[in-house]
Amino acid sequence: MAAKTGTTQSGFSFSIPEENLDNMELLDALADLNENDPLQISRVCRLLLGKDQRRALYDHLRTPAGNVPVKAVAEAIGEIFDACGDAGKN
């Protein structure tokens, strides 16, 4: 299967295997996230990107103080889904 690739506005390059997008657990996590469970963003991020790319995204977004802003992660995940097109919408 091909991968969906792109770069976020902040400069994070990603490659999402199509099987990561066709995943019921990802859809469940997105549904839970939309039901006002902000803790699901971590699960969505892991299911979408995998452990290594998630760590790379966090490092990319890390502030000089050492934290990773939740809003920045959520925005990046939104951009990644937009870049994946219809496949990312399940």
Q: For 7-20, what is each residue's pLDDT tens digit?
A: 999 999 999 999 99
The pLDDT value recorded for residue 1 is 61
- CA 19 to chain CA mean position, Å: 14
Is the predicted pLDDT of residue 89 greater than 70, yes or no? no
Helices 70-84 and 40-61 cross at an angle (nearest 10°) of: 100
Q: Structure tokens of 65?
A: 């103080």
Q: Please spell the DSSP secondary structure of 5-73, one letter per residue.
A: EEE-TTS-EEEEEHHHHS-HHHHHHHHHHHTT-TTHHHHHHHHHHHHHHHHHHHHHH--TTS---HHHH
This prediction's pTM: 0.86
Write the pLDDT tens digit of every residue in 36-87.
787 889 999 999 999 999 999 999 999 999 999 999 999 999 999 999 875 4
Helix (H) / strand (E) containing 4: strand 3-7
